[in-house]
A and B are shown apart, each in its own frame.
Chain A
């Protein structure tokens, strides 16, 4: 491998993530490629849903227990705390905030996504487990909103993540977000909310779009 090709690849990597060699106790040379060795390189699979009444029942449970990843990606997150406050109280609908992506099933993209946040949002989305849903708040996620000409915010979220429900507005009021949750519930109960499987099927297209704007791709292809 020529050295010229290596340099741009490694340029954005943190020092501990670069390829390096270590000499073992008996003089053996160990090649370490952290991105390959330390991370799981498997790609996601399409997980087929069950059939019939069982899937209907499970979908009902999934719809009635929406665990939201507590990640305020943009200015829409100012309306998320009121959502869990006395006046709006989303807990009534089985909506709950979880601080870790492993346990949450809903990712709320609250408004515009800066490129730096998009990278984290993708990681968070990929660390969530199938089935998972995406709610996009605000007009910024639909067509860029008032940041349509900004050099650092994406215009269309559905090119990077499969979106289940859009909630328009700048920013959407808590009532609108509650309505959005109810729309998502209907969608889950009808069995159409298979965003995770769609993502797994079209992984190449999504990855191409993502890598187009995330120039310093220093993570594995799919972040388990």
Chain B
């Protein structure tokens, strides 16, 4: 395993290498070097499965984190590659040429986070939402509760107890 990391380290500027609690090696790389790196992992190192393509919104740092986790079915190893991109006009290179089902992930991310993947098939089509005209809902600055209350006629009488405060008062009054 370390051989591969050494090998990758030589060829690509990776940083923040660490092992997750489940034995997943996580590393970060510049956005521009991601596709060459994934191509190399897929063709040379047997990381032939794209397990997940996920996005984390770090609103505080004004950044999106894209996590590509690839899997080597022979060695039964996972490798997580993180990419940080700017939150404004976010755009990322598409990897649908490497794995076709990446297009589905990218279509969802485009809809949920507003990150564009130019060239990915069907990326502009509606995937989960229909007729959505607000902010992309998974962005952290979209307030789902406020939106729901304004839109969906909440039934009166639903008491909103903050569970923490309520249970503290009921169960642990001294704490």
Chains A and B share a contact (CB less than 8 Å)? yes
Give the interface of A toward B (CB within 8 A): 12, 115-116, 119, 142-144, 148-156, 159, 209, 212-216
Of chain A, the residue at the smallest CB distance from B138 is A151
Contact (Cβ within 8 A) A149 B144: yes
User: Can you report 12 A-B residue pairs in the complex whose CB atoms are below 8 A from each other?
Assistant: A115-B129, A115-B130, A144-B155, A150-B144, A151-B134, A151-B148, A153-B152, A154-B152, A155-B148, A155-B154, A156-B155, A213-B152
CB neighbours of B148 from chain A (8 A)? 144, 148-151, 155
In the complex the two chains form, what is the Cα distance from A155 to B142 in whole Å?
19
| Residues from 125 to 141 in B contacting A, C-beta threshold 8 Å | 128-134, 137
Question: Chain A: interface secondary structure?
Answer: loop
Contact (Cβ within 8 A) B151 A148: no
A155-B130 contact, Cβ under 8 Å, with A148-B148, A149-B148: no
CB neighbours of A215 from chain B (8 A)? 131-133
A60 CB, nearest partner CB in chain B, Å: 34
In the complex the two chains form, what is the Cα distance from A206 to B151 in whole Å?
14
Contacts A143-B154, A150-B148, A156-B153 supplied; 9 other A-B pairs, CB < 8 Å:
A115-B129, A115-B130, A119-B130, A149-B144, A149-B149, A151-B144, A155-B148, A155-B155, A216-B130
Of chain A, the residue at the smallest CB distance from B135 is A151
B10 contacts the other chain (CB 8 A):
no
A152 CB, nearest partner CB in chain B, Å: 7
| Residues from 47 to 69 in B contacting A, C-beta threshold 8 Å | none
A34 CB, nearest partner CB in chain B, Å: 18
Contact (Cβ within 8 A) B131 A159: no
In the complex the two chains form, what is the Cα distance from A151 to B151 in whole Å?
9
B170 contacts the other chain (CB 8 A):
no
CB neighbours of A209 from chain B (8 A)? 153
In the complex the two chains form, what is the Cα distance from A215 to B126 in whole Å?
14
A142-B133 contact, Cβ under 8 Å, with A149-B145, A149-B148: no
In the complex the two chains form, what is the Cα distance from A151 to B111 in whole Å?
14
CB neighbours of B130 from chain A (8 A)? 115-116, 119, 216
B7 contacts the other chain (CB 8 A):
no
Contact (Cβ within 8 A) B131 A216: yes
B138 CB, nearest partner CB in chain A, Å: 10
CB neighbours of B151 from chain A (8 A)? 151, 212-213
